[in-house]
Structure formats: structure tokens, C-alpha cells
Chains A and B, each alone.
Chain A
Amino acid sequence: MNLTNYALQQILNALSIGSLYALMAVGLAMVFGILRLINFAHGDVMMVAAYIAFFCLSAKMPLWLTVIIMVVGTVLVGIVMERVAYRPIRNAPAIAALLTSFAVGQILQNGTLLTTRFASKPVQIAFPAPPELSGTVALGALGVSRVNLIAFLVGPILLALLTLFITRTTLGLSMRATAEDIGAAQLMGIDTNRVIVLAFVLGAGLASIAGLLYAVQAGQINPYLGFTPVLKAFIAAVIGGFGSISGAMLGGYALGFLEVLLTALPGLGDILPASSTNPALIAFFKTYLPGTLTSYRDAFVFVILILILLFRPGGILGTAETRR
């Protein structure tokens, strides 16, 4: 594979990975934008969606029906979550909400664990990927998996719809107002409770789609799968600009690029063809970017995250909370 193809394929990989992260991050940003709540249970909501989809697909339901049931089910979970766990602490300090979201996540995890026990299912279950989401699509000499391609297409479409909703409809306007200043919005007669529930509904809906795609990619589901996605979504949202939906989307892609870059560059010295490449270039990579650096990936991502927080806390798009 020549260098251009390599670079192109890795860019494609980054876009693929980024699409899923973007979808997850936007769901997280929806709730944060309104409530300033970092919902750590977001990943577990994705997990619940994946389990719902699993039970539907195991019952041989067609994909379109599965998606509908999954989205509806997950949204219901989101509504109950808001009502029972988050509404009562609305006026508590931000920390309380953050910690409550941990607890909600625990409830979802353990609840799912107990449910799978009663349903006589193992902890780790292979996920029956529907044919529409399986396989790869070739793009010239490059390839991308179908599930990632769908994530790549679905993401911007949903973002566009969301943006339209927020900017063009009255309800969307109410959401923006509430996000701006919840007190003032109430004074203006906006039913902020309804708006908040809507935020959770949208967040949960997005989480469910992300959950389905994630489950297809991971090939298996277990009650604890939600943790890594929520961490990634979180990082993505911060990098892109917390509170901003387009920021979250951008952050997702940025994170995807970062992760791929941190795998694609170290060790390049080992794969560059010795015959046709400048030996100085190979030597450069072998000394400064050896393959062993790949295991530092997570650390690099967080170092960059911290740098962003220090010098550009508003994230790449630099909106809303620029006050440190």
C-alpha cells in the first residue's frame, strides 16, 4: 500500500470511528446544554438500548421494527430517569447531579445483570448483527465497514434535523432559552420541565441509535459496556465545546482523528518500505515515533484534553462556558 492510500484509509478510519463518537457526544451534549449535567449514565442508556435491540432481533423482528421499539423503550427509560433521579436534585449543586448519574448508571447495570440472570442469559452475549448493518463497503482501494458508514451518514442527518428543530421551531426556541437561562425562561412562561424532559428524550433517542451501532461493531453486549463509550463521548464533547451540539459532533470527529493518529503514526518506521523510502525518514520514525508509543494512546488523549481545558476551555468551537 503506498503512503497516500495509507493516509487516505486512516482518514477514512478516523471518520468512521469519529462518527460513532460524535453520535454519542451529541446525546450527552443535549442534556448538558440544558441542565449543565454531565450524565455519566449516558453509556448505560446505550447499553439498555443494545439489550432491547438484542431481545427484538433474537425474536427475529425486522430491523425497522427493532429500531422503533428500541428507541421508544430507551426514551421511556430516559424519561423515568429524569423524573425519578434528576428532577428532585435540580437545585442541588452540580456535583450532586454528576454523582447521581453514577448511581443511575449503577442501577441500570445491576438491573440489567439481574434481568439477564432471570432470562437465563450469559453475562456476555453475542449480538446478532442484522444484515443491513454488516459487512464492508468498498470505496475504490479503500474500505469501510457498513456500520461505520451508516454512522457517518446518520450523524450529520440527525445533527441537521436537530439544528433545524432548535432554530426553527417554538419548542426548539424554548430549549435554547432554557439553556441560556433557566430562571428567565420560566419567567417568560416557558414550561421548563417539559423542555428538560424533551432534552432527555432527545438524548436517550440519540443514545439508543449509538447503542445499536456500537453493539454491532463490538459484536457482543454485556451490562458493563456503557463505561467506555460514555468516557469517549465525554472527551469528545469537551474537546469540541461542551454544551454546543455542533461542538460535540466536531469533538467526536476530533477524538476519532486523534486516536487513529496515535495508532497510525507510531511504528510507521516499521511499515514504510525500506527499498523505496528515504532511510532518514525511516530512522526519524523509529527514533521519535516507535511502535511502543501506541500503548500511551489514552494518556496522550487526556494530555491534549487537559491542554484544551487550560488554554481553550470552550473547546474547539469555543462557545458557551468559556468562563473557567
Chain B
Amino acid sequence: MSKKVLKILVFLVVVALVGAVGAPGISRAAEPIKVGGGFALTGDESALDLPAANGAKLAVKEINAAGGVLDRPIDLVVRDSKYQMDVTAQIAKQFVEEDKVVAVVGFTDSDSVLASGPIIQKAGIPFITAGATSPKLPDQIGDMMFLACFGDNVQAAAGAEFAYKKFGKTAYLLIDKGVEYTTLLGAYFKARFTELGGTLVLEDTYEDKATDFSAQITKLKALEKQPDFYYIAAMPYNVGPVVKQLRDAGLTGPVVGGDGYDTPDLVSVAGTAAENVYFTTHALMDAKNGTEGIKKFIEAYNKEYKTDPENAFAALGYDAVYLLADAIKRAGSTDAAAIQKALNETKDFKAITGSITFSGSRVPQKGVTMILVKDGKFTLAEEIVPEKVPSPDTK
């Protein structure tokens, strides 16, 4: 009991200090809006979560510098889940009980979202995931769960339709069955592509931590006739080697992938092999050819973290916070139900990764950007809204 009292005292002192010291543009008595930031900052998922956390923190910094939300600064409480599910559940409880947050943002994978989601849902607090792209999440967790990114079914459908029209009816599919993201992407792609009339001439799998794809590539090369394109679902740490080895083997056909490709590492690692690679992602992250918002983001990210945004998740983390801030502003309060209502009413919110609208679904309607790697740079190939999207339940 005394520990709890001590904690409350500390909290009050901190709040008092924050209020006293203040930041430019914030009134002296402004109580910060506490937002929980759950991320797996150590462990296998950290390559994705750390950029997402960085993006989120950058957004908070910018918002506070501009006066905060409802004249109050945002206090992003970042907690590391270590990619351990029991810890993930614990930090969700800490957000609800100890930090008393008004909303939670975070995570880039379904395991973590599903470990923390039910707790946050039960507390009636809005939860916006930065980068978990499984479209089933809002149904699995509840009406407080929102995605800040499109679902994998959307980007896979976009990829299938684009490639079917542009490249042809035959394709090769390569996934890692042990990772949810690639499995989902592959399943949705297969569903949409075959529905359009395409055929998969060869399907294959690789291991998550594989660095050598020569066996699979040799098998592919042995086909009598190469398929019109290759759909390869991969995580940011696999895209470089797989593309490089594919090209090194002499296969020059177009490669199509998902947002895992959205990392500078694709070009740094694969070099010229990355030519003729297409991938669906949230927005064109290029300092010269991106939108104004993207350009400013890249510049600010570089200034703060001394590196280019490592992958799409940096921008998604950034957007999740801005989306939340916008909802709070429109709600006019930090009441959970009000925020939830405002989120549901979000229409054409100009996030840097695209325009977000939640209309009847808590997976946003967001356009898919198809990027082509040309001359070592990411270029915009097409903005796509898929005609038909496979149901989230597709196996």
C-alpha cells in the first residue's frame, strides 16, 4: 500500500515539475495527456518496432513543440515488451493501471497486439496499432482496436491486380510459412490472383532467418518457362539477399512484394539487383520525390536520430500518434468514448503514409502505393485502390 502512495506522490511531483518547468506554448497548469507506447524494443521484432517507436516519439515532440493537443502536451510513455508475450500483457496492464493512459499506440505484429489488446479493450481505451497489418485484428479484439495502416489483404490484392494487368497471368510465390506476415500476404495474394484468373506455376517456402535462397532459386530457374512475375513475401531483413540472389542467378523478371520491402536496406544490400522490383507500401519514402509531409518527416527523422527512416514502420509510428492527436482534437476531450467516436468518424485524415478514412471498419481505407525501384531509387509506379479485396478470413 505504501508503495502505491509513494508512486502517487512521485507522479504528482513529476506532474508539478512538468507544469512548473513547462514548454514553450503550453500553459503552466497544463496536465499532460498520457499515451501508452508499447513496442518490442529488444528481441527479434526490434528491427521493426524501434523505428516505429522513434517515429512515434518524433511525432510527440513535434506536436508538443507546436502547442500540444487541446493546449496540453502529450506524454508518450514508452515501454519495452521485449517481444515476450507475458511482459506484453503486463505493460498493457501498466498502461491502464499505473500510467492511466487515455490511449495506446504501438506494436508491429499480431502476437503483441493480441497479447495486449484484450486488456486495453477491457479497460475501454482506444488502441491504435502502428504497424500490425493483419485485417482481422479489430474483429479479434474489439471496438477499441484501430489499425493505422491498411490490411495485408488490401496490399496483396493491390499487388495481384497490378501484376496481373501489367505482367501477366503466371506467377511464382515464395513465402515463409513460419511468419504470420508473409503467410497472410501470400494467402491473400493467391486468393485474389487466382480469382482474377492467374495461375501459380510454382510455390515455395524459406526459413525466416535464412540468408541463402540458392536452392529455391535454382528450382525456380529450372522451370521450362519463367512465370510472368515473382511474388516474394519477405520481411525487411530478407528482402535484400533474396532479390540479390535472384538476380545473380540470372532471373530478370519483375519481382513484386509487400511493405516489408520498404526499407533503404533493399537498395543498400541488393544494389543494382533491386532494379525492376515492385512493392506495395503505404507511401513513397523519398526525400526528393515524396510528398511534402514525407520530405519533412525524413528530414526531421534524420535530425533527431542521425539516420534515414529504417523502414515504413517509422512513418507508421509517426502517423499513429498524429492520428490519435487529431482524434483527440476533434473529440474535444480525452474521454475514451469520445476519442473512439472521433476515430470512427475520421475522414480523409492526411497522414504522411496516405489518407486515412475509417468508414464502418476500423481498418482504414487507405490507398496502396506501388513503388518501383528504378536507378537505385524508389519511384512511384501507381496509386492503387484494389477493386476487390479478399476477406480477412481467407486461409
Contacts and interface: CB of A to CB of B under 8 A. Distances in A.
A6 B244 contact: no
A150 interface: no
B375 interface: no
B198 interface: no
Contacts of A10: 215, 218
Given A10-B215, A16-B214, A291-B202, 8 more contacts: A6-B219, A9-B221, A16-B212, A113-B46, A122-B50, A126-B240, A128-B268, A295-B205
Contacts of B139: none
B236 interface: yes
Nearest to A8: B218
B207 interface: yes
The 8 A-B residue pairs with the shortest CB-CB distance in the complex, in nearest-first order? A219-B269, A126-B268, A263-B215, A124-B47, A218-B211, A219-B240, A228-B209, A13-B214
Interface string A217-237: 111101011011000000000
A6 B248 contact: no
B202 A222 contact: no
Given A6-B222, A228-B209, A298-B207, A267 B202 contact: yes
B306 interface: yes
B215 A13 contact: yes
B305 interface: yes
B18 interface: no
Contacts of A297: 205, 207
23 contacts: A1-B222, A6-B219, A9-B221, A13-B214, A16-B212, A121-B307, A123-B46, A124-B237, A124-B265, A124-B310, A135-B248, A136-B249, A143-B248, A145-B214, A148-B214, A214-B211, A219-B241, A219-B265, A219-B269, A224-B43, A260-B214, A267-B202, A275-B224
Contacts of A214: 211
Taking residues whose C-beta sits less than 8 angstroms from the other chain, chain B's interface range is: 35 or more
B244 to A, nearest CB: 7
Contacts of A278: none
- Interface residues of chain A: helix, strand, loop or mixed (majority): helix
Contacts of A110: 42
A120 B307 contact: yes
A9 B245 CA distance: 14
Contact of A263 (B47, B219, B223, B241): B219
B204 A263 contact: yes
A310 B219 CA distance: 33
A220 B210 CA distance: 12
A275 B104 CA distance: 59
B24 interface: no
A127 interface: yes
B201 interface: yes
Interface in A143-179: 143, 145, 148
B81 to A, nearest CB: 15
Contact of B270 (A145, A219, A227): A219
Interface of A: 1, 5-6, 9-10, 13-14, 16-17, 20, 110, 113, 120-124, 126-129, 135-136, 143, 145, 148, 214, 217-220, 222, 224-225, 227-228, 259-260, 263-264, 267-268, 270-271, 273, 275, 291-292, 294-295, 297-298
Contact of B221 (A1, A148, A263): A1
B97 interface: no
Given A126-B264, A126-B265, A218 B241 contact: yes
Contacts of B249: 136, 143
Nearest to B308: A122
A123 B53 CA distance: 12
B44 interface: yes
B292 to A, nearest CB: 25
B178 interface: yes
A109 B267 CA distance: 27
B269 A145 contact: no
A218 B307 CA distance: 21
Nearest to B263: A124
A264 B240 contact: no
Given A120-B305, A122-B51, A124-B237, A220 B250 contact: no
A195 B223 CA distance: 53
Interface string B175-218: 00110000000000000000000000111110101011011101
A145 B205 contact: no
B31 to A, nearest CB: 31
Which of B215, B244, B249, B310 has most A Cβ within 10 Å?
Answer: B215
A222 B215 CA distance: 24
A271 B264 CA distance: 34
A127 to B, nearest CB: 7
A270 B201 contact: yes
Given A1-B221, A124-B237, A291-B204, A113 B215 contact: no
A120 B306 contact: yes
Contact of A113 (B42, B211, B245): B42
Nearest to B248: A136
Nearest to B209: A228
Contacts of A14: 215
A89 to B, nearest CB: 27
A218 B234 CA distance: 14
A271 B248 contact: no
B269 A271 contact: no
A50 to B, nearest CB: 12
B241 A217 contact: yes
Among the interface residues A217, A222, A295, which one has the most CB atoms of the partner chain B within 10 A? Answer: A295
Given A135-B248, A270-B202, A294-B205, A220 B265 contact: yes
B218 A13 contact: yes
Contacts of A121: 307
A324 B216 CA distance: 37
A217 B212 contact: yes
Contact of B245 (A145, A222, A259): A145
Contacts of A228: 209
Nearest to B202: A270
B198 to A, nearest CB: 16
A75 B218 CA distance: 37
